[in-house]
Amino acid sequence: MDLKASLQLPDGKSVDLPVLVGTENEHAVDVRTLRDQTGYITFDDGFANTGSCISDISFIDGEKGILRHRGYRIEDLAGESIFLETAYLIIYGELPTSKQLSKFRGRIASSASVHEGMRLFFQGFPHTSHPMAILSAMLNSLGCYYPEMTTHNRAKDLEHFDWGAALLISKVRTLAAMSYRAKRGLPFVYPRWDLRYAANFLHMMFSEPYHDYNPKPEVTDALDLILLLHADHEQNCSTSTVRMVASSGANLFASVSAGVSALWGPLHGGANAAVIEMLEEIAASGDDGRKAVEAAKKGERRLMGFGHRVYKNYDPRARILGEAAKRVLTSMGISDPLLGIAMHLEEVALKDEYFVSRKLYPNVDFYSGIILRAIGIPVDMFPVMFAIGRMPGWIANWREVATNPKMKIHRPRQVYNGKTERDYVAIEKRGE
């Protein structure tokens, strides 16, 4: 049955608009013909009520705290899959067979090094550079080495998509490790063929010419889990940015580079670093979390790692990471006071009327930083870790835009609230 929504407008006009229903019974009023029919547009600052696309990739029910990729529950993927397998699922829509997975892994392993010319780029950045600035610049520059994938002819760019996807997933990790080492004046470490994804990253970060870094399996597993849990998350700020850039016909490299910039902000991917800074500040002040909660209630600060535009329940990724944080620290024999403060802060906030009534729960960033810190990843690299994890989601969303024959350039409208037309006489008067 075709559903319709009727809209009564102030000038007496009324309009019937179609209603779209998603596979999870989500309903959306389709306003695509609204302006043509009535002259009106919709207004939705921050897009909280706007479906910007029809997508098959990820599903979130924020009220129930559900996240699924291509139909698979995040809890099941976290328990039974690995980052690269989930990446394949997100990009291609199905879990890979063992043959498909080994081909995908082979492509990723063989793409790990970057062109020697790119090493020189790193020399130009001052040591004060933020690694997210470097990463965004490097991902866009990377496209220069693949002219066959950056033709801006969609059909031609798509012919090389499988390689483009694999090499971006591979090289984002190499470029991230290089940005860490360049900033510290350390020599670059070449990737190794024999190491798995997370282990190879840690090798490029922490090995030295005279000493191979050999992390415990618990450490590489925890890093793999963090990457998996960040792999996609529906139409968040950075993914929407990737789709926006892709909608102009821009290539995959340019689009994901823009995604990194969008992710950088403290309200998005920068929140994991902000959480650690907040916990350190709480620890230094001797607070057990109560003062921070009170300050948040007065609007003097935000509790970083709390709240989410979509989740009005516990973010399922936060639950998994909270447990993982305890496990990893125990296995590494680390006792981090910040974990205790985080757990206490959570306990206080979840009982407080302010947080309860606003449905503010810990999000994915609340515990991820504690694990990253235990692994030895410096705080300024936290959003970079998010970017490495989110790469499959950006790639999958770019592909959805690029392969949609009905795709339109994303070009919203606005409600203009500035000066109206002024006449020439008024300008002349001012000149007197």
Q: Closer to ligand CMC at the Cβ: 118 or 172?
A: 172
307 binds ligand CMC (CB under 6 A): yes
Tokens 């590489």 locate to 220
Q: Closer to ligand CMC at the Cβ: 361 or 398?
A: 361
Mark 259-288 with x for binding to ligand CMC (rule: CB under 6 A) and - for no binding: --------xxx-x-----------------
Q: Which of 69, 308, 315, 410 is catalytic?
A: 308
| Separation between Cα atoms, residue 309 and residue 40, nearest integer Å | 27
For residue 293, give the nearest of 339, 345, 337 by alpha carbon: 345
Tokens of 221: 């597993």
- CA 214 to chain centroid, in Å, comes to 28
Tokens of 408: 């339109």
CB atoms within 10 A of CB 273: 24
242 binds ligand CMC (CB under 6 A): no
Q: Closer to ligand CMC at the Cβ: 205 or 292?
A: 292
Rounded (10°) CA dihedral 175, 180, 184, 186: -50
| Separation between Cα atoms, residue 425 and residue 410, nearest integer Å | 39
Q: Closer to ligand CMC at the Cβ: 200 or 236?
A: 236
Taken as a whole, the chain contains a residue count of 432
309 binds ligand CMC (CB under 6 A): yes
Stretch that binds ligand CMC, among 109-117, 128-136, 340-348, 360-368 (CB under 6 A): 360-368
Q: Closer to ligand CMC at the Cβ: 258 or 402?
A: 258
- CA 16 to chain centroid, in Å, comes to 37
Residue 227 contacts residue 247 (beta carbons within 8 Å): no
374 binds ligand CMC (CB under 6 A): no
Stretch that binds ligand CMC, among 37-45, 91-99, 282-290, 305-313 (CB under 6 A): 305-313
305 binds ligand CMC (CB under 6 A): yes
Element (H, E) at 138: helix 131-142
Question: What phi and psi values does residue 294 have, to the nearest 5 degrees?
Answer: -60, -45
For residue 58, give the nearest of 394, 402, 404, 405 by alpha carbon: 394
233 binds ligand CMC (CB under 6 A): yes
Residue 157 is a catalytic residue: no
Stretch that binds ligand CMC, among 2-10, 53-61, 246-254, 299-307 (CB under 6 A): 299-307
Residue 233 is a catalytic residue: no
| Separation between Cα atoms, residue 255 and residue 142, nearest integer Å | 12
Judged by CB under 6 A, the residue of 256, 364, 370, 385 near ligand CMC is 364
356 binds ligand CMC (CB under 6 A): no
Q: Known catalytic residues?
A: 308, 365
Which residues are at the interface with ligand CMC (CB under 6 A)?
A: 233, 236, 267-269, 271, 296, 302-309, 358, 360, 363-365
